[in-house]
Structure 1
Amino acid sequence: MKFAFALCLVLASSCLALVPKHPADLASMLARQQFAVRSLMAAPSIGDNAQADDCFNNYMVEQTNVIMGYNKQYTGCISAADQSRSDLTEQSAAERSDLLDRTNKMCSDLSVCEAQSDGLDFFDCYRDASTNSYKTMFTLNSDSNLDYNRINAAYAQVDSVLNACVDEARMDYAHEMDSCDANLTICLNGGAAPTEAPTAAPTAAPTAEVPTAAPTAAPTAGPTDFYKLHPCTLNLRHCLISGISGAVKRHKLDYRGFSRCSEIGSEGH
């Protein structure tokens, strides 16, 4: 199992490195996977493969919780901003309706002149209607300018709140990911593996199913035996590439896709 996780991390890092443009979450995930591989390679030799399995199982669970929590928090920020803009648009409905009514009346007054067949009466009608239209256009310009400035200021406030919300979500994400890295390092160096994933998560996010326990069976085969036992390594690579491609298209990470890949790698144990 240890080598299955290592292979998953290496392939995930290699595939992500080929993506020309990384969404923020994918770029961060690439850095975390590279950290996990470096930690595995730099850790002292661990005789108990079950301990290494537990370390990486808990690392994956913790990462999943942190990423899903961040997505939850970020989505909440975006939804709140969209709702605020929708509320502002709804609140300005009366002003928009008034401007449209005054514009339609002005056009209607000018259209009446088309009924005048006599040349003198036609121009007299247009002279009077255009005088009123000039006054209407001036007030339309003044009122619409005031409404624009008011709504624009409100939109700027919405954007300010959104930026603060997103910055806070990213800061929480960075701190929690650092904690995951620290736990992995301690575990690989022989410390106790955490028995529970972090429970703190924003309250407004979609629920996500997360593994709650590490596999109980420890593999006994070395890297060479692993490849002999698993001729379906290409399937594992295909699984990882498919999961990463889907994440790039959706601009949203779903770590359960990588969990399925690790299950492919652990077949036969």
Structure 2
Amino acid sequence: MATKSLLSLLLATIVSSALAQSPVDWQPLLEQQNLALRQVVQTMQMTRGAAVGAEETDACFDWYLDNQTAINEVYYKEYNDCKNTATAAKKLLSEQSALERQDLLDDGHSLCSSLAACESISDGLEFFQCYNKASDDNSPKLFNMSVTSERVADKLTISYQAINDTERVCTTNARVKNVEDLSISRAYLNDCLLGEWSPPNA
């Protein structure tokens, strides 16, 4: 029945709306579902002289919903592959800079320990002399920490930007392919409702 087709598509639209809350851009699916829903309404308004009957209409929409699901499963996988690849690349960069990170942590802990040793001194003169000596002794470490952190941060910033750009291209390509596949799917549905195309094995 055409009513069954309408209810099925309404359910799919509701599910699609829920999926739209996920990180994946499901907007193309929602747009195609809305267009398809209008086609269902038009089909229900057709006279008995319509190109296809109720059973054929149901077969068209059964195929359409299955095809839409398959298309978006592929999109979801491709989208997540883009994200996972970017995450893995950033993780690798972090691992590669682990030695420099540890050197900075060691220097930082050493500096903090030197300054902390002055905290228990109650005499004002001795306290400031202690801090002055600790600062002088650790000035090479402070300079090294500043230079190293800036150098590594600049290098990682450039690398991260390249990763982000690659990820953006990847997700955009996946989305473009998804829109194209959804449009083709809707065109087949339209042809099916007009009796100009039949689903495989239908």
Tell me if both proteins adopt one fold, taking TM over 0.5 as the criterion: yes
Q: TM-score w.r.t. structure 1 length?
A: 0.62
Q: SS of 1:136's equivalent?
A: helix
In 2, the alpha carbon distance for the partners of 1:47 and 1:112 equals: 89
Asked if the contact 1:40/1:188 (under 8 Å) is kept, the reply is: no
Deviation at 1:47, TM superposition (A): 4.9
- Give 1:59 shift: 0.8
Instruction: Determine whether 1:183 maps to 2:188.
Output: yes
Task: Kindly state the Cα deviation for residue 159 of structure 1 after the two structures are TM-superposed.
Answer: 0.4
Which is worse superposed, 128-137 or 50-59? 128-137
Counterpart of 2:29? 29
Question: Hey, what does 1:38 align to over in structure 2?
Answer: 38
Asked whether 1:161 is paired with 2:178, we answer no
Task: Show structure 2 runs of 5+ residues with no match.
Answer: none
Question: Distance between the aligned counterparts of 2:25 and 2:141, measured in 1?
Answer: 52
CA distance in 2, matches of 1:121, 1:4: 88
- Offset at 1:41? 4.0
For 1:75 and 1:177, the matched residues in 2 are separated by 19
Measured after TM superposition, the shift of residue 81 of structure 1 is: 1.0
Partner of 2:87: 82
Q: Using the alignment, how far apart are the partners of 1:79 and 1:63 within structure 2? A: 24
Report the alpha carbon displacement of residue 40 of structure 1 after superposing the two structures with TM: 3.2
Per-residue CA deviation, residues 182-207 of structure 1 (Å, 9 max, x unaligned), is: 10111111112131xxxxxxxxxxxx
Please give the secondary structure, in 2, of the residue aligned with 1:190.
Answer: coil
Q: TM-score, normalised by structure 2?
A: 0.81
Contact 2:2–2:58 (8 Å) recurs in 1: yes
How many residues are aligned here? 195
Pairing 1:91-110 to 2, within 5 Å after superposition: 91-110=96-115
- What is the CA-CA distance between 1:76 and the residue it aligns to? 0.8
Q: CA RMSD in A?
A: 3.1
Q: Deviations over 1:60-117 (max 9, x none)?
A: 1111110111001111111111111111111111111001111222233334456879
Are residue 63 (structure 1) and residue 68 (structure 2) matched?
yes
Report if the CA contact (8 A) 1:2-1:52 is conserved.
Answer: yes
Matched-pair contact (CA < 8 Å) for 2:52–2:193: no
- CA distance, structure 1, for counterparts of residue 74 and residue 40 of structure 2: 26
Name stretches of at least 5 consecutive residues in structure 1 with no aligned partner.
Answer: 196-212, 215-269
In 1: Cα distance, 2:128 partner to 2:21 partner: 65
Q: 1:25 to 1:101 in 2, by over 3 A?
A: closer
Matched residue type, 2:34:
Q
With over 3 angstroms needed to count, the CA separation of the structure-2 counterparts of 1:68 and 1:122, relative to structure 1, is: closer
CA contact (8 A) 2:4 2:58 kept: no
**Which 10-residue stretch deviates more, 163-172 or 138-147?**
138-147
Counterpart of 1:2?
2
- 2:146 matches 1:144: no
Sequence identity (%)? 31
Q: Is residue 49 of structure 1 aligned with residue 47 of structure 2?
A: no
The alignment partner of 1:183 has SS state of: helix
Distance 1:114 1:50 in 2: 86
The amino acid of 1:152's aligned partner reads T
User: Mapping of 1:130-141 within 5 angstroms?
Assistant: 130-141=135-146
Tell me the amino acid that sits aligned with residue 181 of structure 2: E
